[in-house]
Amino acid sequence: MTKKSKTIVIVAGPTAVGKTSVSILLAKRLKSEIISADSRQFYKEMEIGTAKPTQLEMDGIPHHFINSLSIHDEYNVGQFEKDALKLLDDLFMKHDLILVVGGSGLYVKALCEGIDEMPVIPTEIREELNEEYAEKGIEHLQNELVIADPEYYEIVDQHNPQRLIRALELYRATGKNMSFYRAQENAVDRPFNIIKIGLERPREELYDRINLRMDQMISEGLFEEAEALYPYKHLYAMQTVGYSEIFGYLEGEYDRAEAVRLLKRNSRRYAKRQLTWFKRDPEFTWFSADEKDAVIAFLQKMS
């Protein structure tokens, strides 16, 4: 077996845990670059609500895939896999080790293991589900998926109708759920080593950080940003926590105080789903996000 000379280091964890500060410190120590695996940060129009690192926070470290797309672009995890692998070929010309940072579990999985092709779904099934969503709302989709695929329901973004519809159309078309297909996937052998680091904090501390981050986003103009993006709320990129709650407020479904409560609650729930996803992968080694020296020592030992 040929020894692999190049390595990617995954730095993953829930929203607001502190991935940015840890990954930038690692990149500086290792003289490396960062690939973002946070699908929300790809879109240049979504600035405040996606907690992108600022130029000051980046501290001169090159970041890839941040602000690389418009919300009007069609993009998916399969395209990310191809684009990220191509980029790694280029980056490995300069570096032996590259950091991949983010909380989008499916994108991390695609880069590390590959994504199998799913069955082709008949158009009428997709149209049927979209009509049901328009008539009955997102709760209808949630209620069906939690019965059809309770395991996947625990880790999917439950407030993203496109993700729910994708899982349901697969089930209706084949009689098998997303969990079944994910279990059949055969990981590909990448031409580089993969080290997976998970960052975590005590639950109450993490939730306090999420609440504080949301307050900061609101003071920076999150409501105004969402209002400017409201005409495009139907786009796939906009179906995400941090914007959909404000869209409901703008449509008069509830007042501003309730929108803030939902923003914080749904962000906490999103963090829980992220942790559930990553904790199921036994290849992750977990650290407190404050244990930066321990992370560095671990990497030096492993690489």
Q: Give me the torsion for CA of 204, 267, 15, 211, rounded to 10°.
A: -50
Which CATH number fits the domain that encloses residue 91?
Answer: 3.40.50.300
Which CATH number fits the domain that encloses residue 156?
Answer: 1.10.20.140
> Mind listing the pLDDT tens digit for each residue in 50-65?
999 999 999 999 999 9
- In this structure, which amino acid lies at residue 215? D
pLDDT at residue number 120: 79
Tell me, yes or no, whether 43 and 157 share the same domain: no
> Mind listing the pLDDT tens digit for each residue in 264-297?
999 999 999 999 999 999 999 999 999 999 999 9
Residue 288 lies in a domain: yes
Residue 2 lies in a domain: no
When divided into structural domains, the chain yields a total of: 2
- Of 101, 10, 15, the closest CA to residue 51 belongs to 15
Residue 34 lies in a domain: yes
Tell me, yes or no, whether 22 and 109 share the same domain: yes
pLDDT at residue number 1: 41
Tell me, yes or no, whether 28 and 39 share the same domain: yes
pLDDT at residue number 302: 83
Residue 273 lies in a domain: yes
Residue 22 lies in a domain: yes
Tell me, yes or no, whether 194 and 156 share the same domain: no
Tell me, yes or no, whether 222 and 102 share the same domain: yes
Tell me, yes or no, whether 24 and 111 share the same domain: yes
Tell me, yes or no, whether 80 and 190 share the same domain: yes
Residue 1 lies in a domain: no
The span from the CA of 290 to the CA of 293, in Å, is: 9
Span 75-83, mean pLDDT? 92
pLDDT at residue number 185: 61
Residue 179 pLDDT exceeds 60: yes
pTM of the prediction?
0.84
Higher pLDDT, 252 or 184: 252
Tell me, yes or no, whether 47 and 111 share the same domain: yes
> Mind listing the pLDDT tens digit for each residue in 114-166?
876 677 788 888 889 989 998 999 999 999 999 999 999 998 888 888 889 98
Range of the domain at 151: 123-184
- The gap from C-alpha 263 to its chain's centroid, in whole angstroms, comes to 17
Span 89-105, mean pLDDT? 96
Count of Cβ atoms closer than 10 Å to residue 30 Cβ: 19
Residue 303 pLDDT exceeds 80: no
> Mind listing the pLDDT tens digit for each residue in 194-227?
999 999 999 999 999 999 999 999 999 999 999 9
| End residue of a domain, out of 169, 184, 199 | 184
Residue 156 lies in a domain: yes
Tell me, yes or no, whether 216 and 284 share the same domain: yes
Tell me, yes or no, whether 206 and 93 share the same domain: yes
- Of 260, 268, 274, 288, the closest CA to residue 210 belongs to 268
Residue 78 lies in a domain: yes
